[in-house]
Structure formats: structure tokens, C-alpha cells
Structure 1
């Protein structure tokens, strides 16, 4: 069986962390999970370095909280662009795209964010949407 390549959209939310944890846990030995944060922000001068540095730290922190399954390689990447289209393009050659869902709802109906909607409509690989971990109510 060929090793799998899974793309995970990671942000600073609990949903992004849940997506990364799910991807690592469900990727078979020999597979690669690529944790990706997409940065569409620039300074007024057009500089992206400060934003990319912050995103790199955020992805590194998220990876530090995930226990890697044996034989699964985890990589990180920060890309410039709009999140939905950038993730879809990157996932074009991948075996799957994993995204976290924040859990917003209105009137009992789940509200999907624009990035998830874009990826579900345009991705050519399977898309897994992982809900954020529910917090325990005391």
C-alpha cells in the first residue's frame, strides 16, 4: 500500500488542533501529515514576514501538542494566499484534506465557515471536517 499524504488546515483554534490530532491518529504508518497555515495578511508596506513568523510559531505549538503515531511523518508549512483556494490547490495531489469545524450553530443548524464551504465545493480529494473538541461543563 502506498503511503498517504494528508493536508491539514491549522489555525490557532481548538478546531484546528482537533483536525491535526485526527489526521495524525488516522494516517497509516509511512504516511505524511502536512500541517498548513495560510496567511493572507500583509503589513501596509506589503511585508508578510512578521505574519508568517507568527503563523510558523502557531503551527509549531500545535504540533507540539500532538502525539505522533509511529511511522507517521508530520511536516509544517506556512503559505501566503486566501485559505480556501490555497488549501484546495495544495490538496490537489493529496489523499485527503482535513479541516476543523468551530461548532457555530443557529437555530440548531450547523454553520460552516467560508473556508470549509470552499474546500467542500472545490477539492478533488476527500475532505474530512472534524468538530472542535467539546469542553466539559462542570
Structure 2
């Protein structure tokens, strides 16, 4: 069986960390989790700058305190551009895309953000949406 490649959209929120934890916990031995943060800016020639450094710190902060799964490799990535399309493009050949849901609701109805909606509509791989605070087991 070929090792799985899972993309995780990471921002500086509890939802982003929950998504990363979920992906690492559910990736089997030999799999790769790519923790990707989107800069939102496009830099000439893909040059790294202060904005990219800040996004890498976001990924590092999310990884802090998360134990890597046995045999799971975690890679860090910073993408340029609009978050939804950038994550969909990176996930094009992946086995899955994992995103965190912030838990916003209106009148008892969950509101999905624009990045999640874009990924659900356009990704060619399965998309998992993880809540910021998983429901407690009864």
C-alpha cells in the first residue's frame, strides 16, 4: 500500500491546530502530513520574506505540543495567493485535505468560511473539516 499524503491548512487558530492534530493522528505509518499556511501575498520569484517567515512561525506554533504519529513525517509549507485556491492546488495529487472549522454559527446553523466552501467545491480529493473544539464524548 502506498503511503498517504495529507495536506492540512494551518492558520493561527485553535481550529488550525485541531486540523493538524487530527491529520497526524489519522495518518498511517509511512504517511506524510504537509502543514501548509497561506501567506495571501504573491512575492516575485517565490522569494521568502518577512510574511513567509511569519507564516512558518504559525505552522511551528501549531506543531508545538503535538506528538508526531509513529512513522508519520510532517513537512512545513508556505503558499502564496488566495487560501482556498492555493490549498486546492497543493492538494491536487494528495490523498486528502484537512481544514479546521472555527465554529461560527447563526441561529443554530453552522456557518462555513469561504476557504472551507471553496475547498469543498473544488478539491479533487476528500476534504475533512475538523471542529475547533471536538465534541466531548458522552
Q: Establish whether TM, by shorter chain, passes 0.5.
A: yes
Aligned-pair distance for 1:135? Answer: 9.7
Number of matched pairs: 133
Q: Give the CA RMSD over aligned residues.
A: 1.9
The equivalences for 1:1-138 within 5 A come to 1-41=1-41, 49-133=49-133
Secondary structure of residue in 2 paired with 1:77: strand
Q: Is the 8 A contact 2:42 2:80 kept in 1?
A: no
- Offset of 1:134 from its aligned partner? 5.7
TM-score with structure 2 setting the length = 0.91
CA contact (8 A) 2:8 2:98 kept: yes
Q: Which runs of 5+ in 2 are unaligned?
A: none
CA contact (8 A) 1:42 1:48 kept: no
Q: Mind listing any 5+ residue stretches in structure 1 that lack a counterpart?
A: none
Mapped to 2, the partners of 1:56 and 1:7 lie a distance apart of 15
* TM-superposition CA deviations, 1:4-51 (whole Å, max 9, x none): 0000000000000000000000000000000000111479xxx87111
* TM-score, normalised with respect to structure 1: 0.91
